[in-house]
Structure formats: C-alpha cells, structure tokens
Structure 1
Amino acid sequence: MPVQEETVEEETGHECLRPPHQVLTGTDMNGAWATRHSFARTMLRRARSQAWHVEKTRLDFDAQGCGTAVYTVYAEGRIFSFIAFSRTLDESQRTDRVIADAWDVTAALLEGRLTSEREEQLRQNVPVQEKGRPGADAMVLTRANRSLRFFDYVGDCLARGQQPDVHSMGPSPYVLRSTAFYSNGKFGLKEFADFPAGHPLGVPYRAQMLAAWLLRELSIDLVEHVARAKADAAGTQFVPLDPQWGKYLGLGNATGLGMVPFVVNHPEYLDAWCRLREIPLSRALMQSYSPDHPDLERIVVLLTRACGYLEEKRELKTAPFLDPPAIRSQLGGLLAQLRAFINTSTSAEPILAHLHEKAARLSAEARGILASIVIELRSDFDDEAEVLLTIGETAVPDAGMRCAELRRLLAANYGWVRTHDFGDPSATGFFWFSATANEEPRRGRRAGRLPGGVEHCTDIAQRIARLNADLARYSEASSVAEFLRMFPEHRFAVHRVQQTQGLRYPEIHDNLLAEDFLPLSVQRFQLAVYGMNNFSPQSTDWLRVTLFSGAPRTADLGRETSDADDWLFPLAPPSKPSLEKESRP
C-alpha cells in the first residue's frame, strides 16, 4: 500500500510561496504554461459538473459556409444564446490585428433565448463589431477569420473521404483564428458586476471562455458543412472529422500589445492570477511521497505526454522562447530522475520539490511545465481557485497615512525598482500609447515621439523611483496629504503603493520603458492563465496561440469519459492512410 502523504501545516501567510522576485520577472513568465486552474479548464469543469447542455439550434449555411448559426446553452436554470454570422472574405481583407473592419465570422453571446426580433437587431450590430451596439443582454462580442492554410485543406480532405494529415496541419491545429473577445460593459455589453451570486458565468473570464469554446465548435461545424457541399458537387464521399481530430482542433488566436497595459493597470488581477498558480504549486511541493505513491505514476504519465507534445511541436516557431526540442531534452532528465526514485528509493521524500528545483536550474520553460504537471494533482484547489478570481474593489487612497509608513511600504514591496537606472537613456527608450485611428495599444521609441498625445501609465518603476527620491528628503512625521501638496505629481504613485500593500504579486518586476523589455513575456503569462498553448511569437510584440486544443466538444459534456478533464499537452491523432492507399492490394 502507498505510504500516506505527510501532512504539512497549511500556509497562512506568504512564507511557503515563491517570492515575487522569482515569479514576476520576464524570465519566469517566459516559461508559463496552462494549468488545471486556467480559465478554459475551469469553465469546462463547471459545465460538466453542473450538467450544462448545448443545443445546435440552427446551422443555416450555403455551400461556401455563408449564413447563420445559433447555439443554445442550458446552464443551471439559465439560458444563453450564441449567434454567429458567417461570410467569406477575400484573403487581402483578413488580418490578425484588432484594427480590421471585416471578418469571416462575427458572433455574440447573450443571456436569454433568442427571438426573431432580437436576431434582426444583432444582425445589424454584430457584424460591424466596435461600430455596433449589441445590447445590454449581450455579454461577449467576438470575431474570427478562416485560416488561409487550414480551413480549405481540412474541408478538401473531408470532401475526399479522408482525415487531415497531422504533418500537413503543422504544430498549430485550428481552422478559425479569433482576434478579440469584448465584454464587461464595452460597446454597451452587459457588465459582469451585475451578475448575481452563483451565476454560472459570474466568475471573471468565464463568459469569454464559453464564447471561445462555442466559436471553436462552430469552426468544426462550418468546415464539415463546406466539405459536405464540396463532396456533393464533386460526387465524392464526405466523411465527418474523426472524434480525435474534433478534440485536437482548437481555436487560433493572435494577441498583441493590448494585454500588457491591462495587467499593469489591474494589480489585483495580476496578484490573483499568480496565486492561482503559486498556492497549489506550493502545497504540492511541500508533500513527501513514498516511491509507490500513485501520484508519482501520474507525474510520469504527464511528463511522458509533455515530451510527446514537444516532439510534435518541434517545428513550431518559438524564438525568443526556448525551442521545443531543447525543453523536451530537459524534461527527459527530470523523468529519468523521477523513475530512478520510484525504482530505487526506500523512504518518503519531497521528490517533487527536488525535481522542481532541478527544473528551475535548467530553464524557465522546464520549470513551468513541471509546475503545471504538479498542479494537475491539486484538484482540492478547484473550488478555492474560483473564489480567488473574484476581485474586490480597489483600495481608497489614505491621505492620512504618515510618510514614514509610506517609506516602509516602498522599502518592503518596491525594493526591486532600485535595480533600474533611469539616468541611462536606454531605460526610457520606449513609451506606450494608443493609436489615434483605432485606439490599439502600441509602443514607440521616445526619440521619435511627436509633441502632444497621451502616454499610457506603464511607467510604474520610473514613477516609484521618482517618488522614492522626493520622499527620502521629506519629513517622516508628515502626512501623505501634506507630501502631495508639495509634490502633486506623485499622487498616482502614492496611491499605487497603498493599493498594493496587501498583495503578494501586484507588480511586474521590470521596466516597461526599457529598450530590452520584452512584451511577449507578459503576454505569454496572461495567455497561459487563459488556458492557451502553442506559443508562437511573430515579433517582439505579438504572438499566435491555440485555445481549447484537446478539449471536449459540446456533445461530450454529458458523457463520462476518462479524458473529460485531462487535456494538458494534447497529442495529435495518429496518422492514418488514405482510403486510396487502404484499397491497394
């Protein structure tokens, strides 16, 4: 019988969690991977546990896939409707960027059953996206384009009676690629603060994940419909996607700089998202395991799967992140060490902590993958994770605070700012702004900045450094209000220090104005929290990813299958010979 895990006292403070200077660096964020507590996983876990049901109410397309789709979701006594409008664009009109004004697919998720009158209103507003107003019952507004490479390829395969070839699909499996998920009051959408307690979509980002999952379902329905029409026209035998392929195909996504200012402006979110990983990781690493403990066999299975996943992604463009073959080699060493412990050890040890320490010495990517695998064991954190994501109101400024207390908070929580030399021109070589034409966040070189305009408040490190300098020569006994009368330019920085005083992970420990700052690091961290994978940078400022690859489809919600919540590191379906090859003697 396995030896019982040693019980370790629950951490009540921060002493057992990784320190902020490790977690909040770009280097560590470069190794972020999705976990069982990422938003995509938690949404589908809720859907299964609460017996949600999805009905394909209408799939009304012509031979090219132009038309309307309606999906109705029955969830815990509530009804949600997802409506999508599909057309075909000339390839010159397709773009990954948020600034586009036309898309192959536009869609909205709303609360309540769809009526014909409501559908007509949405038909006038959803296709124009930002220029429309879908209504206060609409929760999410989204859009997507067909993949130039994959949509027609998959459709042609199915029309010929064949399944896609894994090698032809490449390392990023999708046929539609989304570019935005607007929500929470933007463009007149429903505000999530209005959701009552216990609402099935009341957890932050759950509505967006539901919309993305249904958009992925639409992508498969759409490509199968087009393939069926092609087969009818050509007189060939259509076949639907094999169930393994149906799960393997995800939803593509392209993400740019807009995510970075968001996380800078919401320190409470950053703190919660970090603790979403660090708390279950800490609890798992504190445990000691006997060599025959079943959890260790689970780690072996997941490490082996991760190695297989990385082998399949060997051609994925990942620079400046570490390439998949290099990570795979490092994981192989960790797997060998774990197997040696299982086969030769005679006593319980904190083996996972030992492996985690070794992984951290190898690379951020190896550590991040091992952390995700270790967190997979912590199903006991699932309910706690949902509570963690409910963010309270931002702290009110405390004008009566003594300057001595403010200096103490600066020393305790912002000591990392002293590592940046703002006298060096390269430390302020960039600035962040919104493009005038479309409000798309961008960054540019400060040397070429034109007079006027508004700079995004991403210069936290510089503002704190300036606050430190002026506060150091001001009376400690004075109040913050008195200090700000003398130095009103520090009002934001003072409030920021007060706002974050009770948080463990509120600030990115980096200077976003520096010439060597890599936005991709922050973007990758956020996308991993969402549940995405296949990180493929296209420049220093944006990357492509895949969401819901390996996830159950709508028809799988009511089925009891062993892999319903087991799709970390999804593997491609096995290659199968074509019908033509099978028919040869």
Structure 2
Amino acid sequence: MTLQDHRVVPKLRTPHEVLSGTDMNGAWATRHSFARSFLRRAAARRWSVAKTRLDFDAEGCGTAVYSVDAEGRKLSFIAFSRTLDESERTDRVIADAWDVTAALIEGDLNPDREADLRRNVPIQERGRVDPDTIILTRANRSARFFDYVSDCLAAGDQPDVDFIGPSPYLIRSTAFYGNGKFGLKEFADFPPDHPLAVPYRSQMLTAWLLRELSMDMVEHVAREKAFQRGTTAASLNAEWSKYLGLGNATGLGMVPFVINHPGYLDAWCRLREVPLAASLGQDYHPDHPDLARVAELLRQADRYLAEKHALETAPFLRAEAIRPQLQQLLAELQTYRSTGSEPARVLDRLHDVATALSPEARGLFASIVIELRSDFDDAAEALLTVPDSTWADTTMHCWELKQLLDTNYRWVRAYDFTDPERASYYWFSSEANEEPRRALRTGRRPGTVEHCTDIARRISALSEDLERFPAHCSISAFLLAHPAHRFAAARVLQTRPYYYGELRDNLIDAEFLPLSTQRFQLATYGMNNFSPQSTDWLRVTLFSGAPRAADINNGNDADDWLFPTAPKESAR
C-alpha cells in the first residue's frame, strides 16, 4: 500500500472531513509526528550524544557543547547561557535577549568557529553565520519552574507534581530558524542519505538537545546551591527526567505557512489518514492483540487527561469533558472483546462513535489506532520530502479549469462574499517585527499590503468571471483579460496534485479560528498540552515523556510516550 495514492486506500476520509477547522480542533500527536519519528530513527540507527563541555557558573551562565554522531555525520550543538530579569522575558519573536541562545552545526567546532558563533548566535536575527550552521534557536527559563526545581534538587528532593502542574518544562523555546535564513545551511543541500535530510529533523534534534540542556543546567545550579548550603543535591530521577519537556508558544505565523505550502499540508494529512484508514478497514476477532493494545492506550489516555484537569484549553474541550467519552469507547470495545464471536470492523465502528462524540475524542482515538501501524514508519518518513509544484500549463482550456474548480473548490460556494462578515479580517506583516498578523478590515490603513490568505474569496471571484468567459479559450487568454485572477488560477493548478492540499476554511471570515490550524500543525510536530492564550496563539509542550540522551545512546527509544504521565510518587 502507498501513502501517495488515496485511491488505493479503503475509506480514506474526505478532504471536507479532514481539512475543516472543526476536525483540526481535535488533532493529537501520533507515532508519525516529527518528534516521535526523529527519536525512533535516532535510537534505531544508534545515534550517540556526548556532553563535550558544560562550563557554567553558579547561576548556570556559560557555555555548553554537545557532540552528536548521527550515522557517521558529526554534529555539534553549542549553547550560550545567561540570566535575564523576568521583565525581559517574553514568548514573542521580537525579543532582543534570551536566557539561552544556541546553534546546531555540522563539521568541526574549532576555536575560530566558536568565536564567530559566540559573536553571532546570542544576537540571533541581527547576526550572520556560516553555511554549515544548520539551526539557530533561543529559549528562556521558566522563572517559576527552573528556580523551584533547582531548589528541590539542592535540598535532596524531587519536584512536586502539584506545583509543576499540567505543562512540565524548565525552559521555553521561542524560535527555530533554518533553511538559509541569516546565512544558515539550506536544507536542499543535504544529500538524500543525510540523517537530517528529512524535513523538520534538524529542528527536532535542536529542540530535543535544548531540553537535554535544560535538565543539565538545572542540576548544575542545584549542585551549586547545595554546596553553598552544605547539603547534598539530588539529580532528577528517571521519571522526572523523561516527564519534563520543552515549553513552546506559537502564534499566527504558522497559518500563512501552511497556506503557502499545500504539498506539506497534503503530506501531513496523509501521515494520519492512510494508516488510520488501513487499520479501520480491517476485521478484528475479539481476541486480536491489537484490540488489547487499543484498550490499554485508551486507559493511558484517560490517566493522562486525569492529570490535565487544571490545563486551560478553551475553546478546545477540557480534559474532564473528554474523559467520559474515552470511557464510553473503552466500554464498547470491552463489550465486543467479551461477547463478540465473529471478526468485525470494530475499530471502524468505534471511530464513527468517537466522531459523533467530539473532535477531540475522534482525534485522540485516531492517534491510538495509528499507533498500531508500525509498518508505515519508513513510508511516512519518505512522504515528508515534497517536490515543488508549478502551474505552468497555460494551454489548458477554461472549461478544464472550471472542471477543477467544480471538483476541488465546490466548498467555496458556501460563502457569500457580499456579506461583510465573510471578509471581516485581513492578514498582513507587522511593520515592527515582520510577523504575520490579522486585523479587522474596517481599520485597514491605505497602502497596507494584504497577504494572499483570502483563498476562498479569490477562488469565488475567479469562478464568477470564468463563467462569463468562452469555455474553449485558453487560461492564458482569460488571464490577459482578467489579470487580477492570476493568483487564484495558479492556486487551483498548484493544488491539483494534492488530495489534502487546501484548508476548507475562509481565513478572513469573522468566525475563522486560527487556533484550529495551529493545533493541527503543532500536533504534527509532536506537541501536546495545548493551552490557548487568545484566539491567535497558544502554549504547548514538546518532548514530555520522551527518552533522554542516555536512552538513545543505549539504543532504547522507549517509543511509548504518546500519553506521558507524571511521576507516580507525587502524582495526584
């Protein structure tokens, strides 16, 4: 079976189902999320990570270097640490200073190169690096959690789960720059056999090493505090080492990105939909071991959600609202396992039940079902390399373009753009920091450049003029007469190869919720603990429950951290 061709997969969900904001509201990480697939490969191929240097003062300020041997490729992660006043810390991209700045590089870290990195990495966007520097990143300490955990360890104790709460991390990352920015290496320059040639792998490696750094820093600070107090510091125990993740916050910039890359959107959807359809299309005997695995994962999900009752999730469902829905699914599954006699498509039926319950229940159950299909791992990795698509077929006739509109963009007809509510917002780049923003159209200043995120409106206008143009004429002739539709025509042809290439949403609509698209993307990266802070941005956690460097060095990826739960001795 192939991940590329939707026609060979039974009961693949339709674009209308998959690409709606409602469905994306329930997205959860899966075994094919980038964080999971990265660590799975690192363990399988026996990557090794060494702490080359941890040169910190009593407050954890200084330099850290980690060396990585990734399938014979030598990589280094160098980080520069300082301490900021809490008033200087921000989740925003526009900050000028951070507690930690770091770079992932390829090749030797000699003194001259380190000196150059030391000048440029701490100033981030204002600096420039050599083309063998792969990723620039930065992060801030959590003033509440970092100091608290170092105090606990200095006293010889482990942290208390109730104090840490539902989002466990020590530092929060705010950006991962790559692919040619500021002189960085372009990802296209990686040869196909390079371990970082898979999209997003270098960012995931960098984020994971940031998490590793955060725990090494907090243990160092704890030892310094203990020395000053005349006590003996503890190290994080095995449970806490895996439970602590990396904090992150993200805003509106992710939405235009996925709009501008329909091939990525299609690939990310297939990562979920193809293995899901393959499992839902199978008959399962009541004693099939996969059903026992699903039952156990439903229990794990329930335990995970029980610990998240304090997490603010609106407008998504709260954890306590999802738990009874999972318990209903588990009860129906257990009934079939104990009373069924003939093979049946029980997971398909339960997926239908979950869909009727809520987007969150459906998305979570889908992630559990996808967990059954390890046979898709290699195909999923290959799927992420997306070739550029072009629209250069200018000889196409107008009637052919109309057919494509009817096949792929019929959903646009649901919007009446004579209603001002359907075009309430516009998207633009902030003059101060070049970040994507959206604002009410009524307050738009003359001359402000609007991003081409208004796909539905543009396609609607294209359809109207195309209906009045001779069907036998070429697209070139049509665009000569209607040059304003060049973008819309290009969009129709650009998305033609993709089954899941276009969001079924109007991004300028008064009712559009950016959080839906953001959640889908973040779940694809492998993040969890979604906590919206407004309609436009949210906080998340990455790598909570993931293996540490020592685990990977031993070839143990512990690939069972879909629903990470807190250390038991202090759990609720």
User: Normalising TM by the smaller chain, what interval?
Assistant: over 0.9
Partner in structure 1 of residue 538 of structure 2: 543
Question: What per-residue deviation string (whole Å, max 9, x for no partner) do you get for residues 208-241 of structure 1?
Answer: 0000000000010011111111111111220000
Partner in structure 1 of residue 285 of structure 2: 290
Question: What per-residue deviation string (whole Å, max 9, x for no partner) do you get for residues 386-443 of structure 1?
Answer: 1110101222421110000000000000000011111111111111111111101111
Partner in structure 2 of residue 3 of structure 1: none
- Report the alpha carbon displacement of residue 166 of structure 1 after superposing the two structures with TM: 0.6
Q: For residues 560 and 477 of structure 1, what CA distance do their matches in structure 2 show?
A: 62
1:482 to 473, 477, 482: 477
Q: For residues 457 and 524 of structure 1, what CA distance do their matches in structure 2 show?
A: 21
Q: How does 1:338-487 map to 2 (within 5 A)?
A: 338-487=333-482
What amino acid sits opposite 1:357 in the alignment?
D
8 A Cα contact 1:533 1:545, kept in partner:
yes
8 A Cα contact 1:70 1:81, kept in partner:
yes
Partner in structure 2 of residue 138 of structure 1: 133
- Report the alpha carbon displacement of residue 11 of structure 1 after superposing the two structures with TM: 6.3
Q: For residues 303 and 222 of structure 1, what CA distance do their matches in structure 2 show?
A: 36
8 A Cα contact 2:9 2:277, kept in partner:
no
Partner in structure 1 of residue 564 of structure 2: 570
What amino acid sits opposite 2:560 in the alignment?
D
Q: For residues 75 and 28 of structure 1, what CA distance do their matches in structure 2 show?
A: 37
- Report the alpha carbon displacement of residue 347 of structure 1 after superposing the two structures with TM: 1.1
Q: How does 1:162-241 map to 2 (within 5 A)?
A: 162-241=157-236
- Report the alpha carbon displacement of residue 16 of structure 1 after superposing the two structures with TM: 2.5
- Report the alpha carbon displacement of residue 128 of structure 1 after superposing the two structures with TM: 0.4
Q: For residues 413 and 129 of structure 1, what CA distance do their matches in structure 2 show?
A: 42
What amino acid sits opposite 2:239 in the alignment?
Q
Q: For residues 113 and 42 of structure 1, what CA distance do their matches in structure 2 show?
A: 27
Q: For residues 106 and 560 of structure 1, what CA distance do their matches in structure 2 show?
A: 29
Q: How does 1:89-108 map to 2 (within 5 A)?
A: 89-108=84-103
What amino acid sits opposite 1:451 in the alignment?
P
- Residue 307 in structure 1 maps to residue 339 in structure 2: no
Q: For residues 475 and 454 of structure 1, what CA distance do their matches in structure 2 show?
A: 33
What amino acid sits opposite 1:19 in the alignment?
T
Question: What per-residue deviation string (whole Å, max 9, x for no partner) do you get for residues 522-578 of structure 1?
Answer: 0000000000000000000000000000000001013355x711110101001259x
Q: Which runs of 5+ in 1 are unaligned?
A: 1-9, 578-585
- Report the alpha carbon displacement of residue 70 of structure 1 after superposing the two structures with TM: 0.4
Q: For residues 31 and 91 of structure 1, what CA distance do their matches in structure 2 show?
A: 34
Partner in structure 2 of residue 16 of structure 1: 11
Q: Which runs of 5+ in 2 are unaligned?
A: none
TM-score by length of structure 1 reads 0.96
- Report the alpha carbon displacement of residue 187 of structure 1 after superposing the two structures with TM: 1.3
Bigger drift between 539-548 and 394-403 goes to 394-403
Q: For residues 9 and 333 of structure 2, what CA distance do their matches in structure 1 show?
A: 28
Q: For residues 30 and 469 of structure 2, what CA distance do their matches in structure 1 show?
A: 46
What amino acid sits opposite 1:320 in the alignment?
P
Partner in structure 1 of residue 82 of structure 2: 87
Q: How does 1:272-287 map to 2 (within 5 A)?
A: 272-287=267-282
8 A Cα contact 2:245 2:542, kept in partner:
yes
Partner in structure 2 of residue 268 of structure 1: 263
Partner in structure 1 of residue 486 of structure 2: 491
Q: For residues 68 and 186 of structure 2, what CA distance do their matches in structure 1 show?
A: 20
Q: For residues 387 and 552 of structure 1, what CA distance do their matches in structure 2 show?
A: 24
What amino acid sits opposite 1:34 in the alignment?
A
- Report the alpha carbon displacement of residue 453 of structure 1 after superposing the two structures with TM: 2.2
Partner in structure 2 of residue 5 of structure 1: none
- Residue 52 in structure 1 maps to residue 44 in structure 2: no
RMSD: 1.1
Residue 74 of structure 1 aligns to a residue in which SS? strand
8 A Cα contact 1:251 1:549, kept in partner:
yes
8 A Cα contact 2:282 2:345, kept in partner:
yes
Identity %: 65
Partner in structure 2 of residue 242 of structure 1: 237
Q: For residues 458 and 149 of structure 1, what CA distance do their matches in structure 2 show?
A: 38
Partner in structure 2 of residue 124 of structure 1: 119
8 A Cα contact 1:150 1:174, kept in partner:
yes
Partner in structure 2 of residue 68 of structure 1: 63
8 A Cα contact 1:273 1:389, kept in partner:
yes
What amino acid sits opposite 1:567 in the alignment?
W
Q: For residues 284 and 333 of structure 1, what CA distance do their matches in structure 2 show?
A: 20
What amino acid sits opposite 2:206 in the alignment?
A
TM-score by length of structure 2 reads 0.98
Question: What per-residue deviation string (whole Å, max 9, x for no partner) do you get for residues 94-119 of structure 1?
Answer: 00111111100000001112111110
Question: What per-residue deviation string (whole Å, max 9, x for no partner) do you get for residues 317-359 of structure 1?
Answer: 0000000001011000000111111111111111100110000
Q: For residues 228 and 416 of structure 2, what CA distance do their matches in structure 1 show?
A: 68
What amino acid sits opposite 2:204 in the alignment?
M
Q: 1:11 to 1:411 in 2, by over 3 A?
A: closer
Q: 1:15 to 1:347 in 2, by over 3 A?
A: closer
- Report the alpha carbon displacement of residue 12 of structure 1 after superposing the two structures with TM: 4.0
What amino acid sits opposite 2:236 in the alignment?
L
Partner in structure 2 of residue 583 of structure 1: none
8 A Cα contact 1:14 1:504, kept in partner:
no
8 A Cα contact 1:397 1:499, kept in partner:
no
Residue 140 of structure 1 aligns to a residue in which SS? strand
8 A Cα contact 1:27 1:521, kept in partner:
yes
What amino acid sits opposite 1:88 in the alignment?
T
- Report the alpha carbon displacement of residue 247 of structure 1 after superposing the two structures with TM: 0.3
Tell me the number of residue pairs that the alignment of Structure 1 and Structure 2 aligns. 567
- Report the alpha carbon displacement of residue 13 of structure 1 after superposing the two structures with TM: 4.1
What amino acid sits opposite 1:521 in the alignment?
S
Residue 309 of structure 2 aligns to a residue in which SS? coil
8 A Cα contact 2:44 2:555, kept in partner:
no
Residue 349 of structure 1 aligns to a residue in which SS? coil
Q: For residues 534 and 138 of structure 2, what CA distance do their matches in structure 1 show?
A: 23
Q: 1:399 to 1:54 in 2, by over 3 A?
A: same
Partner in structure 2 of residue 582 of structure 1: none
Q: For residues 197 and 38 of structure 1, what CA distance do their matches in structure 2 show?
A: 20
